[in-house]
């Protein structure tokens, strides 16, 4: 059976050129990048080249890039690190604040939300900004939420379920005017959209390699020079002390190569993939009665569409499609198996039933027109079949008519 993969927001395949770049560091080039002999120095040179490649992707300086195990670690380090740095400064008698306060949104990834909730248990106050029907926060509400104790604004660049792209440039201006540190989770935007940390006035940015054709288990945290950030791990002096531990040289090399490839093909990939995404979205909406796209009025990443198919259970549809050879998802891969409806979809106003009836299709660099045709044939037929088995849907349609 030929299989079609439309779940690239969950993970991507490692590009052949990325794998080729990594392979020497999984065998002959096995040196520890912290060693001073020739083996170690060759590994160090490869790590520093990758640091330059990742920095170039987001407009940063190489010394501002710290390699991590992925986006979750980077998010945790950014949020905990800022909060703990403020605590340390107060302990040392530098500055004063009535209580630490963080601002985020209701549709963040759980790597951000759960970190904020953990800090709340430690006495940090957190404001969760609501979003509109398209998944946008209100910059004016953000401005009003800032107060004397605000130490961090953390708002994701692109949402993993909707693809909605937040107005980071405006948010960055607000943060800079208030002298508040600004972090973004760019896991779903890095490698898909142009990102310039200086234009966006970012102090901290998280990214993850497996979202743009590097291997799993490698990511990076951008830390603007001068940003007050407490280290979370303690050990050696690797990566300026921010992230001690022997570097994952092969993974870092893969991340660097993937960043280089993404930077070169960014505009071409976006144009091609967005055209395919639009054809898929419009085709499904025209073929499946009562369906609607979520966040369709927003600026979105070029590869993502989230569609509600009333009258079905999303997980049942995912399984039915998978049995026929099409992979997609009901939302964030990190939430697979969750009983609760998507917090992102309920935050934009969908009912729990509507949220559970929604599927995310996320295209990739190598998605073909033929694969979109396959999805356009398969999905409507599967929805019709599931709706035939749904007494709820039959009752709803009878009421509408």
Say if residue 117 is in the same domain as residue 174.
Answer: yes
Question: Cα 192 vs. chain centroid, distance in angstroms?
Answer: 11
Say if residue 122 is in the same domain as residue 65.
Answer: yes
Token pair 């107005």 in the structure block, residue: 167
Question: In 10 A of CB 56, how many CB atoms?
Answer: 16
Residue 235's pLDDT is what? 84
What is the average pLDDT score of the chain? 93
Which neighbouring-strand residues pair with 102?
A: 126, 152
Contact status, residue 60 vs residue 201, Cβ threshold 8 Å? no
C-alpha closest to that of 222 among 358, 59, 39: 59
Residue 238's pLDDT is what? 84
Say if residue 281 is in the same domain as residue 319.
Answer: yes
Contact status, residue 150 vs residue 142, Cβ threshold 8 Å? no
Instruction: Write out the H or E segment, with its range, that includes residue 81.
Output: helix 71-91
Q: Quick check: 382 pLDDT over 70?
A: yes
Say if residue 223 is in the same domain as residue 370.
Answer: no
Say if residue 248 is in the same domain as residue 281.
Answer: no
Q: pLDDT for 37-68, tens place per residue?
A: 999 999 999 999 999 999 999 999 999 999 99
Residue 401's pLDDT is what? 47
Q: b vs e for 216-243, b when ≥16 Cβ sit within 10 Å of the residue's Cβ?
A: ebbbbbbbbeebbbbbeeeeeebbeebb
C-alpha closest to that of 82 among 218, 187, 221: 221
Token pair 């560091």 in the structure block, residue: 25
Write out the two tokens for 213: 């054709």
Contact status, residue 155 vs residue 188, Cβ threshold 8 Å? no
Say if residue 255 is in the same domain as residue 270.
Answer: no
CATH at 48: 3.40.640.10
Range of the domain at 138: 16-261
CA–CA distances in Å: residue 277 to residues 192, 333, 354, 360, 363: 14, 20, 22, 11, 7
Residue 120's pLDDT is what? 96
Residue 323's pLDDT is what? 97
CATH at 349: 3.90.1150.10
> Under DSSP, is residue 66 helix (H, G, I), strand (E, B) or coil?
strand
**328 given a catalytic annotation:** no
**Domain count for the chain:** 2
Say if residue 181 is in the same domain as residue 275.
Answer: no
Q: What would the mean pLDDT of 380-388 be, rounded to a whole number? A: 96
* Torsional sign, CA 379, 384, 389, 392: positive
3-state class percentages of the chain: helix first, strand second, coil last, to nearest 5: 45, 15, 40
Q: What would the mean pLDDT of 346-360 be, rounded to a whole number? A: 96
Say if residue 237 is in the same domain as residue 304.
Answer: no
Contact status, residue 78 vs residue 154, Cβ threshold 8 Å? yes
Contact status, residue 59 vs residue 197, Cβ threshold 8 Å? yes
Please report how the helices 314-324 and 369-388 are oriented relative to each other, as an axis angle in degrees rounded to 10. 130
Selecting among 334, 340, 389, 392, the annotated active-site residue is 334
Say if residue 146 is in the same domain as residue 246.
Answer: yes
> Under DSSP, is residue 359 helix (H, G, I), strand (E, B) or coil?
strand
Answer with the one of 231, 261, 291 that is the final residue of a domain.
261
Answer with the one of 209, 238, 261 that is the final residue of a domain.
261
Q: What are the backbone angles phi and psi of residue 149, rounded to the nearest 5°? A: -90, 5
Question: In 10 A of CB 297, how many CB atoms?
Answer: 13
Q: pLDDT for 197-239, tens place per residue?
A: 999 999 999 999 999 999 999 999 999 999 999 988 888 778 8
Say if residue 253 is in the same domain as residue 271.
Answer: no
The whole-model pTM stands at 0.93
Q: pLDDT for 314-327, tens place per residue?
A: 999 999 999 999 99
Say if residue 186 is in the same domain as residue 288.
Answer: no
Say if residue 231 is in the same domain as residue 335.
Answer: no
Answer with the one of 210, 229, 261 that is the final residue of a domain.
261
* d(C-alpha 68, C-alpha 63), whole Å: 14
Q: What would the mean pLDDT of 184-201 be, rounded to a whole number? A: 98
């Amino acid at each position: 059976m030929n299989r079609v993969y439309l779940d690239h927001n969950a993970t991507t395949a490692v590009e052949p050129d990325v794998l080729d770049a990594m392979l020497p560091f999984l065998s002959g080039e096995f040196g520890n990048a912290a060693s001073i002999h020739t083996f170690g120095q060759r590994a160090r040179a490869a790590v520093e080249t990758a640091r330059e490649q990742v920095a170039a992707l987001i407009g940063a300086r190489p010394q501002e890039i710290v390699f991590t195990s992925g986006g979750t670690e980077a998010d945790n380090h950014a949020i905990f690190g800022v909060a703990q740095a403020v605590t340390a400064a107060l302990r040392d008698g530098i500055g004063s604040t009535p209580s630490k306060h963080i601002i985020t949104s209701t549709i963040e990834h759980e790597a951000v939300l759960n970190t904020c909730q953990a800090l709340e248990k430690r006495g940090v106050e957190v404001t969760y900004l609501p979003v509109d029907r398209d998944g946008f926060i209100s910059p004016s509400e953000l401005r009003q939420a800032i107060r004397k104790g605000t130490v961090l604004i953390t708002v994701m660049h692109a949402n993993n379920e909707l693809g909605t792209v937040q107005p980071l440039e405006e948010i960055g201006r607000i943060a800079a005017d208030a002298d508040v540190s600004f972090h973004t989770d760019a896991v779903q935007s890095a490698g898909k959209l142009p990102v310039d940390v200086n234009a966006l006035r970012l102090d901290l940015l998280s990214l993850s390699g497996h979202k743009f054709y590097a291997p799993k288990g490698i990511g990076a945290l951008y830390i603007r020079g001068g940003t007050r950030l407490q280290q979370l791990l303690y050990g050696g002096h690797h990566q300026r002390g921010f992230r001690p531990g022997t570097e994952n040289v092969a993974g870092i090399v893969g991340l660097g190569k993937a960043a280089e490839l993404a930077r070169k093909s960014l505009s071409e990939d976006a144009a091609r993939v967005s055209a395919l995404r639009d054809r898929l979205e419009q085709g499904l909406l025209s073929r499946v009665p009562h369906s609607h796209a979520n966040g369709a009025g927003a600026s979105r990443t070029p590869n993502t569409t989230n569609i509600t198919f009333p009258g079905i259970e999303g997980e049942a549809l995912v399984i039915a499609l998978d049995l026929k050879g099409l992979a997609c998802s009901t939302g964030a891969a990190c939430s697979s198996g969750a009983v609760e409806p998507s917090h992102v979809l309920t935050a934009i106003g969908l009912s729990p039933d509507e949220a559970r009836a929604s599927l995310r299709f996320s295209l990739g660099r190598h998605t073909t027109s033929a694969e979109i045709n396959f999805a356009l044939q398969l999905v409507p037929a599967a929805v019709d079949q599931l709706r035939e088995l749904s007494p709820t849907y039959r009752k709803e349609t009878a009421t509408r008519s």
